[in-house]
Amino acid sequence: MSKKPQTVWVCQECGYESPKWLGRCICGAFGSMVEETVVPDDAQDTRRRVSAGSGETAGGAARPKRLKKVGSAEYARIKTGIRELDRVLGGGLVPGSLTLISGEPGIGKSTLIIQAAAKIAAQEGTVLYVSGEESEEQIKMRADRVCGSLPDSLLVMAETNMENIMAVSESCKPKFLIIDSIQTIYSDTLDSAPGSVSQVRTCGNMLMKIGKSWNVPVFIVAHVTKSGELAGPKTVEHLVDTVLHFSGERDHEVRILRAFKNRFGTTSEIGAFRMEEHGLMEIQDISATFLENTDVSEEGSVITAVYEGSRPVFLEVQALTSRTTAGFPRRTAVGVDQKRLAMILAVLEKKLGLNLSDQDVYVNIVGGLRADRTSVDLGVALAIYSTIRGAAPSRRVVAFGEVGLTGELRSVQNADRIVMEAARLGYQQVILPERSAERIDRSKIPSSCQIAGVKNLYAAAHVFLD
């Protein structure tokens, strides 16, 4: 006998459930509790008893196995036809995997997905594109603009009912399933509105059933909140195999795709795209995109580098200081963590004797890319030092390394590959931590590129303007 529906209050920010209304959720959000009706499943309430000795459940379903006896399956990945997307995914789509992709409105999520859908449909077979936000005609207009000729195996359906989506998927047996977006999909088993925590969680479980049961890779588009985080409960992020985030500035043509979670690959890879009239184009040489006029050395401008996944990325850090007209100096950072900037400024004042108490400081990573690695610390510090001194280096210089609170420079990973790439790009000098410089095979570096291993920030500033 089925149980009666129950009413619970669910937080729309974190998914916390409470039997009564709360003005403030345990996550700290105010006014986020919404009343929803939940129908308990009898199957979930049934207790299973384990038979002694056999290890089987009362239903005879599962038994524990020795881990070393379990075979490891090699998944044949499905190539999307977009190399930058395959790079972030770890080599392509894994059959049966669930991939969640998010990003700001208009950043290019649907454009990237329709391009990948057309290529997969031409190579692998049937692809089903389910849209709950756009009509079939709107999808066709975008596909004609960014894809050109469309294969017959690319199917599109404007639907928001999850039960209908499952029925159509069972009948057409797609090789690739796309849901755009999960916030618009609802299930008849729940009375709550589409996009609520219960609906997103339930529809996510049903999509997982489709992917795992039929061995179909599923792409799920998700909305983001005002702060740029994924909307909906965190359980969906734990449910899927891969979480991708598409970022970029509206006034910049470069788009960056990152993996925040990947069960089948690394999370350190990034994919670079350029938004053009005919869709998203891949950027192979990402460093050349972010570097302009590098032949001319200017005060307040320093070239630094980060290692993303399997390739080094070179960035230009620009800094500007001006005498403040207010009581408190302003600290503005674009592309650099604000807290790390405050730490670097404190080290510059303490170890290099710079007086920044009456100076507004502005730091910017050119091109709109956000540098989360600590290897850009030295570049930021030297850019500020250069604009304070009003001097620029006499040669083409690359500087990277982590700055500690005592002013010492800490080593960074893959420094040898960054130096080799700097030499290939024609830079005359590389300033890096002394510990990292000791590990570099100098016989592989051309004599035109000097390697300056320094111990602390004071020595780095001396070499930089020498």
Whether residue 88 is found in the same domain as residue 234: yes
Q: Which residues contact 278 (CB under 8 A, 6 or more apart)?
A: 145, 146
Task: Give the integer Cα–Cα distance in Å for 273 and 109.
Answer: 12
Whether residue 30 is found in the same domain as residue 153: no
Q: How many domains does the chain have?
A: 3
- Residue 66 covered by a domain: no
In contact, 155 and 126? CB cutoff 8 Å:
yes
- Predicted TM-score (pTM) of this structure: 0.78
Strand ranges (DSSP E) for 366-458? 397-399, 402-403, 409-410, 429-433, 450-454
Name which residue leads in pLDDT, 106 or 300.
Answer: 300
Whether residue 319 is found in the same domain as residue 363: yes
Mean pLDDT confidence for 235-258: 84
> Can you give the pLDDT at residue 295?
64
- Residue 56 covered by a domain: no
Tokens encoding 288? 């050349």
* Helix, strand, coil tally for the chain in percent (to 5): 30, 25, 45
- Residue 198 covered by a domain: yes
| Confidence bin at 409 (pLDDT 50/70/90) | very high
Q: Which contiguous run of DSSP H or E holds residue 257?
A: strand 254-262
- Residue 55 covered by a domain: no
Angle formed at CA 338 by CA 332 and CA 339, multiple of 5 degrees: 140
Angle formed at CA 371 by CA 368 and CA 377, multiple of 5 degrees: 125
Phi-psi region of 401 (alpha: psi -120 to 50; beta: other; left: phi over 0): left
Average pLDDT taken over every residue of the chain: 85
Q: 55 pLDDT exceeds 50?
A: no
> Can you give the pLDDT at residue 72?
59
Mean pLDDT confidence for 359-364: 94
Name which residue leads in pLDDT, 232 or 165.
Answer: 165
Domain end position, chosen among 260, 284, 308: 284
Mean pLDDT confidence for 228-243: 77
Q: 50 pLDDT exceeds 50?
A: no
> Can you give the pLDDT at residue 371?
85
The string of pLDDT tens digits covering residues 426-459 is 899 999 999 999 989 888 888 889 999 999 999 9
Whether residue 280 is found in the same domain as residue 295: no
Per-residue CA distances from 48 to 41, 45, 185 (Å): 15, 9, 33
Side-chain half-sphere CA neighbours of 326 within 13 A: 6
Whether residue 280 is found in the same domain as residue 293: no
Q: 381 pLDDT exceeds 70?
A: yes
Task: Give the integer Cα–Cα distance in Å for 280 and 220.
Answer: 19
- Residue 61 covered by a domain: no
Whether residue 122 is found in the same domain as residue 152: yes
Range of the domain at 10: 1-41
> Can you give the pLDDT at residue 373?
87
Q: Which of 213-227, 229-243, 295-309, 338-352 has the lowest mean pLDDT?
A: 229-243
In contact, 404 and 410? CB cutoff 8 Å:
yes
Whether residue 266 is found in the same domain as residue 310: no
Name which residue leads in pLDDT, 45 or 310.
Answer: 310
Whether residue 295 is found in the same domain as residue 275: no
Task: Give the integer Cα–Cα distance in Å for 116 and 102.
Answer: 16
In contact, 140 and 156? CB cutoff 8 Å:
yes
In contact, 11 and 29? CB cutoff 8 Å:
yes
Which CATH number is 338's domain given?
Answer: 3.30.230.10
Domain end position, chosen among 241, 258, 284: 284
Task: Give the integer Cα–Cα distance in Å for 361 and 379.
Answer: 15
Task: Give the integer Cα–Cα distance in Å for 122 and 363.
Answer: 46
- Residue 68 covered by a domain: no
Q: Which of 94-98, 243-247, 367-371 has the lowest mean pLDDT?
A: 367-371
* DSSP state string for 262-284: ETTS-SS-EEEEEEETTEEEE-S
- Residue 267 covered by a domain: yes
Whether residue 256 is found in the same domain as residue 379: no
Q: Which of 59-73, 166-180, 216-230, 338-352 has the lowest mean pLDDT?
A: 59-73
Q: Which contiguous run of DSSP H or E holds residue 45?
A: helix 42-45
| Confidence bin at 97 (pLDDT 50/70/90) | very high
Q: 31 pLDDT exceeds 90?
A: no
Angle formed by the axes of helices 377-389 and 338-351, nearest 10° = 50
Helices (H), 316-394: 338-351, 377-389
Whether residue 250 is found in the same domain as residue 322: no
Task: Give the integer Cα–Cα distance in Å for 100 and 109.
Answer: 11
Whether residue 36 is found in the same domain as residue 106: no
Domain end position, chosen among 284, 310, 328: 284
Name which residue leads in pLDDT, 244 or 327.
Answer: 244
- Residue 76 covered by a domain: no
Whether residue 364 is found in the same domain as residue 438: yes
Which CATH number is 104's domain given?
Answer: 3.40.50.300
The string of pLDDT tens digits covering residues 160-209 is 999 999 999 999 999 999 999 888 999 988 888 888 888 888 898 899 99
Secondary structure (3-state) at 176: strand
Give 143's strand partners.
Answer: none
Mean pLDDT confidence for 84-99: 92
